[in-house]
Structure formats: structure tokens, C-alpha cells
A and B are shown apart, each in its own frame.
Chain A
Amino acid sequence: MPDKEISGKVAAVGVGTTQFGKLPGWSAEDLGIWALDNALADCGLARGDIDGLIVNRIPDYQRFCQMTGLDPRFVNVTPGQGRMSGATIQIAAMAIASGMCETIALVYGNNGRTGGVKYGGATDRYGATAGGEWFPYGMTSPGAVHALMFDRHRHEYGTSQEQLAHVAVTFREHAALNPDAVMRERISEADYHASRYICEPLHLFDYCLINDGGVAIILTSAERARDLAKPPVHISAFSQATALPDSAFPPDDFWREPMGLIARDIREMSGIGPSDLSGTMIYDNFSPTVLFTLEGFGFCDVGESGAYVADGNLARGAALPTNTSGGHMSESYMQGWALNVEAIRQLRHECGERQIAGAETIQYMCAAPLLSAIIYSR
């Protein structure tokens, strides 16, 4: 577990996003710079104030510094996978808490939609299906892995497609209130069931939306955060765990064991448990991941996630408002980054129509072969 002393010592002070959608002509670096400029303006800092940089999905930190004039003491680049967003924020928090640097810019840029990125087929690089060994059987894509996991979950616990539908429908309901979301037209349960299968049992609406866009987050020490433009949002707790050795196939326990470790850590580190949260942001690459996350982090009992979402608990104004931006399936697949921004904006009470009333603490979670969680507090 990270040292309790670190709790509250690092704050998110600036966030920036680009437009999301089809943005031809914009490189990953360009999108990152667009977002970075917005994040700097958000907190009132200049490029010269940044002494730490981690880029994600932008392939080369050196090139990025040449393009921006950023001159950091601390620098890193993390693999362009969605599971890395939470982990990257954690690396930044540790670097600041240790004194290696004071103010870090985290910059993400993704031109995957214009670039024709596909998460399936001959270019599949997903850990479970990369390498082509299973291509002659037609097996490819992270979506298929999650379809198989959902099939297994419904076998073990009786989870139904009718229950699963509530995830996509609820998040679209949230996106309808988010002017930045790519998909804002409400869908009904009937629309969900009528939509085509991509990989049965998963429908089109169970899949995230590949788009172009950029996201930047600026973190700094709690002391430095005090005199910046916006109220600081503190990182109260964070932890990660992995389930890598057997990850060529789905996990038997839907990642419950590593999530349990993280849940214990962050509760211990912050004193904040599931019932204390104003809301959550759940990494929703595919809607079944939301079910697995709710069980693994203890928001409902094992096998009860289907009933939990069908009861409407994830809606804004319900027990556990979740993915109020619309998340990856309706706002845009910004690989976890925009969900962290949404957590920060909610805690600043900047979210307009979709604001969670009186939001005080929000937990971000990602369930994948690398799992992470972060608790943010205002």
C-alpha cells in the first residue's frame, strides 16, 4: 500500500480536453498540445512551470519536448493502453510526493480514429489475442475476450443480457447531458436489444467508441495547489495490482482478487470506503467490465452486479452515480483519461446539468490485466 503520508499531498489542479470525434490532420502530439494548453489555462500555469512530464499514447517524450519547449526534470512515457491511464497518474503522484518534481503534466493524444486503429484483426495487439496464434479460428479482439467473460459470468451467476443493457442505456442517458460527448442521443433498452451484435453476447452499444482526441491533467503538490486558479482536487488514495501471468485467457475470478487488494489499500490509505463516495468513474471499454468492477471493489456482492445495475444504481441521482460524462461507450474512448478528468470536474462542481449534487469524493477504477484505482477528494 502507498504510504498513508502521501494521502492528500498531491492535487489535480488543471484539466484540459480537446474536441472528441473525427479530427483529420491532427497528430497525437497536436492533440496532446491542444489539451495541454487548455489544462495550463485552466490552472493559470505556463509551460515553464512544468517540471515533470509523462506522455501516453504519444510515442516519444523527446519529440514532444522539442515540439513544446517543455523542459522537465522528470520525464516518462507509458504504453498506449487504456489500463495505463490510472497507473500513469499514480506514477506522477509518487514522483511529486517523493520530491522528484513538483508540477507534472500528463499528456495523452490519440489520433486512432483518423489513423484507422482497429482493436481486432491482423493488427490485434491485445495481450490475450495478440500474435496471431488464434486467428485461423477467427479469434481476435479485446471485445471478444469480454464477450467470453460475460458468457462465463452469466453461466456462473445467471447475469442476463437484460441486466447488462442498463449499463449502456444509463451511460448514454448521462452523455445526453454532456456537450462534449460524441453520442448524445438517448437509447432505450429496446434500442439496445435491437442493435446488432458485434461479438455475441455483446451488442454494438456494449463497445466503446474509438475517436480522435486529447486529454491533459496537471498535478502538483498540495502546497503549490493552494494558490492556483481553481480549487484543488486532492488524490486521497491510489493503488494498483495485476493479473498478468495467465492473461492469455480471461481470469477465472473476473479480476476479483487483485481488485480486493486495491480496495483494501485505498480504504486504508484514505479512510474512504464505498459507502462514502459521491460517485465513481469505471473504466468501461466494454460494458461487462463495469459489472466485474462493481463486484471486485465491493459495491455489490459477488454475482449481484447484474441486479445492481438493473436496479438503476449507476444513474446520476441514484446510489452510485457512475460515468456521468457518458464514459467510453458514449462520451469517447479516451482510454481512462477523460474519466479521470470527469472525476476532477465533478469535484469542482463544474459539470452543469450532469453535476452530482454536493460531490465530495469520487473513485476511479480500471479492471484489466493491470488494475488500478484512485480516490479523488475536493
Chain B
Amino acid sequence: MSDLASLMPPLDETNRPYWEGLRARVIRLPRCEACGRFRLHDTRYCPHCGSDRSEWATLSGRGRLWARCVFHQVYFEAFRDRVPYGVVIVELEEGVRVYSNLTGTENTMDVPIGAALEAEFEAISDDATLLKFRPA
């Protein structure tokens, strides 16, 4: 399974707490201390209000399925033996969206848009864990 880990983004101070959180099976993202909104972990300043004060806060892991697709084309060597595979957009109840994969279903297209989902943590190496979702 280590081939998927080769696709991991390089870790730095902006994203390390996020990925370490997933390893510990929690979803942690920056929450703005000024406006209270969550954001993905790639910016120092809040894109909503401009504040640079944020804390790493834990999300519930509950969300809804926003859209689905299924890759048939191989774009990464690590996915050559995995096509066709589904990719989805999940809207977390805290308002943040993520790209992810569904577990617990043969065909991603069988799960309807709007379905309630729950986070699932899938280790792809000793160091890397992905955030996936299964129908709740």
C-alpha cells in the first residue's frame, strides 16, 4: 500500500497538524478565532475575515455527499490497479468541503447525493492516514 503514500503532499507547519490528526483518527482544521469559521489548512490568514488568529479545532466527521465521479483514466501509477475508483466531494457539517473516497460500497454511484456520511480513517502507511467516508 506504500505506493499511495508516495502521492502524499510534502508536510510543513501549515498542514502537519492536519495529517497528524488523521493519524490519530481525528479531523483537525484551523478555526478562525475572529469569525469562528473553519478553513482548509493551507493559509495563514482567514479567507473569510482576514484574521491571522486561528486554533486547531476538531470536526465531527459527519457530512453529506455533495457530488460523485468515477475515474476510469489512470493519472497516477499508484492507481493503475485501482481503476475504476470513485472520488466524491463531501460537505462536512461545519461547512468545509473535502475531496475523498467512499468506503463500504462497491460502486460510488450507488450512494445518492445528499446521503449522510461518517468519517472513516484509512492508514496507507505508517506515517499517512487518509480521511474517507462511509454512509452513516
Answer yes or no: do A and B interact: yes
**B101 CB contact (under 8 Å) in A122, A138, A148:** A138
In chain B between 68 and 93, which residues have their CB closer than 8 angstroms to a CB of chain A?
68-73, 75-76, 79, 82, 84-85, 87, 89
Q: Is the CB of A136 within 8 A of B124?
A: yes
Whether the pair B68, A148 counts as a contact (CB closer than 8 A) is: yes
Q: Are B72 and A198 in contact (CB under 8 A)?
A: yes
Nearest neighbor of A135 in chain B, beta-carbon distance:
B7
A141-172: CB near B (< 8 Å → 1, else 0) gives 10010011101100100000000000000000
Chain A residue contacts of B85, Cβ below 8 A: 138
> Which residues of A have CB within 8 Å of B128?
136
Which secondary structure characterizes the binding site on chain A? loop
CA distance A176 to B6 in the complex (A): 44
Kindly state the separation between the CA atoms of A133 and B98 in the bound complex, as whole angstroms.
Answer: 10
| Contact between chains at A144 and B113 (CB < 8 Å) | no
Q: How far is the CA of A250 from the CA of B75 in the complex (A)?
A: 20
A131 at the interface (CB under 8 A from B): yes
Q: Which residues of B contact A132 (CB under 8 A)?
A: 7, 9
Whether A200 pairs with B109 at a CB distance below 8 angstroms is: yes
Interface string of B42-81 (1 = CB under 8 A from A): 1000010000000000000000001111111101100100
CB contact between A131 and one of B9, B73, B87, B101 (< 8 Å): that residue: B9
Contact with A along B87-119 (1 / 0, CB 8 A): 101000000010111000000010001100000
B110 to A: closest C-beta gap in Å: 13
When distances are taken between beta carbons in the complex, the residues of chain B under 8 Å from A201 are 69
Using a CB–CB distance below 8 Å, which chain B residues touch chain A?
Answer: 4-5, 7-9, 15, 40, 42, 47, 66-73, 75-76, 79, 82, 84-85, 87, 89, 97, 99-101, 109, 113-114, 124, 128, 130
Knowing that A144-B69, A152-B113, A200-B71 are A-B contacts, what are 7 other residue pairs whose CB atoms are under 8 Å apart, sorted by A's residue number?
A129-B99, A134-B99, A136-B4, A137-B87, A138-B87, A200-B70, A250-B67
Which 4 A-B residue pairs are closest in the complex by CB-CB distance? A200-B70, A147-B69, A121-B75, A135-B7
